Amino acid sequence: MTADSVSAVPRPPSQKAAAPEITGAEAVVRALGLLGVTDVFGIPGGTIMPVYDPLLDDDTVRHILVRHEQGAGHAAEGYASASGRVGVAIATSGPGATNLVTAIADAYMDSVPLVAITGQVFSHLMGTDAFQEADIVGITMPVTKHSFLVKHPEDIPSALAAAFEVASTGRPGPVLVDITKDAQQKSAPFVWPPKVDLPGYRPVTKAHGKQIQAAAALLAEAKKPVLYVGGGVVRGRAAAELLALAESTNAPVVTTLMARGVFPDSHQQHLGMPGMHGTVPAVLALQESDLIVALGARFDDRVTGKAADFAPNAKVVHVDIDPAEISKIRNADVPIVGDVRDVLIDLDAAFRGAVGTTKPDIAEWWSYLDGLREEFPLGFSPTEDGLLAPQHVIQRIGELTGPEGIYVAGVGQHQMWAAQFIKYERPNAWLNSGGAGTMGYSVPAAMGAKVAEPDRVVWSIDGDGCFQMTNQELATCAINNIPIKVAIINNSSLGMVRQWQTLFYDGRHSNTDLNTGHGTVRIPDFVKLAEAYGCLAIRVEKEEDVDAAITLALETNDRPVVIDFVVSADAMVWPMVPQGVSNSYVQYARDHAPTFDEEI
């Protein structure tokens, strides 16, 4: 047979190789690897057990066994917030899934990209109150971007791919994938990449050009502008673009609790954090402005105070990728829906085009704000009981560690002091629970951040109340070689509640004493507890020992470090605009009090 005759022999039509059949459980693990996941946090249980079998043999995805599902959720949040990648938490059905709810709600409030994978009872048992059955899809519906219920193994790849797309695009947030046990056990062809069908999910990323031009015109005309920067700029990875716009406009910048670090604290245009515990210049810059350019911020009540009286003379340009946020609290004169990075680039170009070579003259505005900075520098008073000043401890942690560290706070007084007294120079250096205000966030979130960024120093700055909610994750850290540093700001009380009781309840400290740090009885003894978890444990009660303890912690990288800083229970977070009060209160206090702190 000649070559020509061979080529003339008819061939059967080409057929695509059949997709391999694997179990749904194997599909979960394989899909995670193909989605680029390298680390997950979780605990096995009855309905998710099938997934844990192939996970044992997988060398792509590292599973970190936590001690509580809430810890898995917060660890995944910390991982995502430090790295910008999607965090993943895994739990079983019933109480395993419901233990994730707090972390899911926390991620929803703070726009953290999170995928929670939960096992569910056999599909034929759903609705029968089967053992460890809970309608986790229904439970989480108000606090997720979307929740998937998967009953068939062939649907697993597309559900996971869709979950990652929804979690990481538009306004980031949590997505739940609930998979029945029979879907995990049965087999089906594994098709990758799967077809992802998300009808109705079309995040707007490109802003309308006319709105950009209108915003630029307002910036060019404003005499008292301010850039009000929220956590959306962090999530949108737009720090460089923010810096460019700020320097083009010469406008003052304020960064909310969720945005600390996205604009350098060392920059001359930065006035600090606004809001209830913000700096006086930042609060009054917003209150007395004639133009607020809100960037990825949502006019939270902690920033605005009494919303009806907030910034009464200001026009508002509101930029957000989530259209539901615009004009929700404060009506926007120029609403801009779009990706904040792209909007900042376009707005900077439009502003420079509008003003040409002559920038607007806002020298009088800056003279006023600089006067406020001079008159009201951020500071604190020495304690009167001989115990440590918590502000000093936190300030020294920041100074000795430096801007390349990651600082993860719990919720309460220590959270506000960490936001105030550590200098932040880069985004993703400051992690905290802002919207939900979740006690217990810090230790597991710091653990997740350290897994995501192993070469950075990671501090958990926690209160003695918060620490007791999730400290069991120190065992996870010790066993898995995750050497976080934990600074317990131990005032032996639920500090922020105690502060409010001092100020607004005639000093009646009802159920806020925790008995953890003062006197001869310590329940628990944090040093003994930390040692039991395999940590280096230190107690500091004298100011002269603060630096040495922090330095030893920074030098110790073979295990976690816990420092019990025994601080004064009487220390308070200042400044403070009381809840429900207009931010004009700050102006009143300034005009009528010998010192701002005394008036408040």
Give pLDDT tens digits for 356-375. Answer: 888 899 999 999 999 999 99
Query: Which CATH number is 111's domain given?
Result: 3.40.50.970
Q: Which strand ranges, in their side-by-side order, compose the sheet holding 315-320? A: 270-272, 253-255, 225-229, 291-295, 315-320, 334-337
Q: Select which of 120, 148, 164, 181 is catalytic.
A: 181
Domain contains 290: yes
For residues 114 and 66, state if they share a domain: yes
Q: Beta-carbon neighbour count of residue 595 at 10 Å?
A: 11
pLDDT exceeds cutoff 70 at 41? yes
Beta-carbon contacts of 279 under 8 Å, excluding residues fewer than 6 positions away, are: 271, 272, 273, 376, 378, 420, 575
pLDDT greater at residue 586 or residue 566: 566
Closest CA to 266 of 280, 279, 253, 256: 253
Q: How far apart are CA 82 and CA 448, in angstroms?
A: 8
What pLDDT does residue 585 have?
A: 61
Q: How far apart are CA 430 and CA 441, in angstroms?
A: 13
Q: Name the E strands within 224-286.
A: 225-229, 253-255, 270-272
State which of 345, 375, 405 marks the end of a domain.
Answer: 375
Domain contains 45: yes
State which of 142, 161, 189 marks the end of a domain.
Answer: 189
Closest CA to 163 of 89, 105, 96, 221: 89
Instruction: Assess whether 213 carries a catalytic annotation.
Output: no
pLDDT exceeds cutoff 60 at 8? no
Domain contains 381: no
Domain contains 589: no
Q: Select which of 109, 416, 496, 576 is catalytic.
A: 496
Domain contains 559: yes
Q: How far apart are CA 91 and CA 94, in angstroms?
A: 9
Given a contact cutoff of 8 angstroms between Cβ atoms, the answer to whether 42 and 66 are in contact is yes
Instruction: Assess whether 15 carries a catalytic annotation.
Output: no
68: DSSP letter: S
Given a contact cutoff of 8 angstroms between Cβ atoms, the answer to whether 253 and 278 are in contact is no
What pLDDT does residue 552 have?
A: 98
Locus of tokens 């910034």: 311
Phi, psi of 431 (to 5 degrees): -120, 135
Least confident of 59-68, 70-79, 202-211, 387-396: 202-211
For residues 365 and 400, state if they share a domain: no
Q: Beta-carbon neighbour count of residue 324 at 10 Å?
A: 10
Instruction: Assess whether 69 carries a catalytic annotation.
Output: yes
What pLDDT does residue 580 have?
A: 74
What pLDDT does residue 495 have?
A: 86
The whole-number average pLDDT for the span 558-586 is 88
Q: Summarize pLDDT for 234-255 with one digit per residue, the tens.
A: 999 999 999 999 999 999 999 9
Phi, psi of 143 (to 5 degrees): -125, 25
pLDDT exceeds cutoff 70 at 178? yes
Q: How far apart are CA 324 and CA 111, in angstroms?
A: 14
DSSP-assigned letters across all residues of 480-523: TT---EEEEEE-SB-HHHHHHHHHHSTT--TT-B--SSSSS--S
Q: How confident is the model at residue 583 (pLDDT cuts 50, 70, 90)?
A: confident
pLDDT exceeds cutoff 90 at 278? yes
Given a contact cutoff of 8 angstroms between Cβ atoms, the answer to whether 218 and 358 are in contact is no
Query: Which CATH number is 254's domain given?
Result: 3.40.50.1220
What pLDDT does residue 446 have?
A: 99
Q: Summarize pLDDT for 113-132 with one digit per residue, the tens.
A: 999 999 999 999 999 999 99
The HSE-up count of residue 355 (CA atoms within 13 Å, CB side) is: 21
Domain span at residue 532 reads 390-566
The whole-number average pLDDT for the span 583-588 is 64
Q: How confident is the model at residue 4 (pLDDT cuts 50, 70, 90)?
A: very low
Q: How far apart are CA 548 and CA 72, in angstroms?
A: 33
DSSP-assigned letters across all residues of 216-232: HHHHHH-SSEEEEE-HH
Q: How confident is the model at residue 586 (pLDDT cuts 50, 70, 90)?
A: low
First to last CA, the chain: 101
Q: How far apart are CA 160 and CA 363, in angstroms?
A: 53
Given a contact cutoff of 8 angstroms between Cβ atoms, the answer to whether 450 and 458 are in contact is yes
> How many structural domains is the chain composed of?
3
Q: How confident is the model at residue 579 (pLDDT cuts 50, 70, 90)?
A: confident
The whole-number average pLDDT for the span 187-212 is 94
List, in sequence order, every residue forming a beta bridge with 406; answer none if it has no partner: 458
Q: Summarize pLDDT for 440-464 with one digit per residue, the tens.
A: 999 999 999 999 999 999 999 999 9
For residues 126 and 179, state if they share a domain: yes
For residues 320 and 422, state if they share a domain: no
Joined tokens for residue 442: 């810090």
Q: Select which of 26, 69, 133, 473 is catalytic.
A: 69
Locus of tokens 């607004």: 504
Q: How far apart are CA 169 and CA 86, in angstroms?
A: 10
For residues 305 and 230, state if they share a domain: yes
State which of 160, 189, 218 marks the end of a domain.
Answer: 189
What pLDDT does residue 507 have?
A: 95
For residues 247 and 302, state if they share a domain: yes
Q: Name the E strands within 72-190.
A: 87-91, 114-120, 146-150, 174-180, 187-189
For residues 256 and 403, state if they share a domain: no
Q: Select which of 131, 364, 399, 531 is catalytic.
A: 131
Tallying the residues shown for the chain, one arrives at 600
Closest CA to 416 of 402, 437, 447: 437
Domain contains 320: yes
CA distances from 560 to 83, 104, 248, 264, 434 (A): 21, 26, 44, 29, 25
For residues 303 and 444, state if they share a domain: no
For residues 85 and 173, state if they share a domain: yes
Q: How far apart are CA 405 and CA 426, in angstroms?
A: 10
If phi > 0 it is left, if psi is from -120 to 50 it is alpha, else beta; for residue 132 that is: left
H or E stretch covering 184 = helix 181-185
Q: How far apart are CA 580 and CA 401, in angstroms?
A: 37
Domain contains 596: no
List, in sequence order, every residue forming a beta bridge with 337; answer none if it has no partner: 320
Q: In angstroms, how far is CA 66 from the centroid of its own chain?
A: 20
Instruction: Assess whether 496 carries a catalytic annotation.
Output: yes
For residues 292 and 344, state if they share a domain: yes
Sign of CA dihedral 330, 230, 35, 117: negative
Domain contains 57: yes
What pLDDT does residue 29 have?
A: 98
What pLDDT does residue 519 have?
A: 67
Q: Read off the pTM.
A: 0.94
Joined tokens for residue 405: 């560290």
Q: Summarize pLDDT for 289-344 with one digit per residue, the tens.
A: 999 999 999 999 999 999 999 999 999 999 999 999 999 999 999 999 999 999 99
Given a contact cutoff of 8 angstroms between Cβ atoms, the answer to whether 413 and 489 are in contact is yes
Q: Select which of 21, 49, 122, 132 is catalytic.
A: 132
For residues 310 and 427, state if they share a domain: no
Percent of the chain with pLDDT over 70: 94
Closest CA to 473 of 75, 77, 52, 90: 75
Q: Summarize pLDDT for 135-153 with one digit per residue, the tens.
A: 999 999 999 999 999 999 9
For residues 261 and 342, state if they share a domain: yes
Instruction: Assess whether 325 carries a catalytic annotation.
Output: no
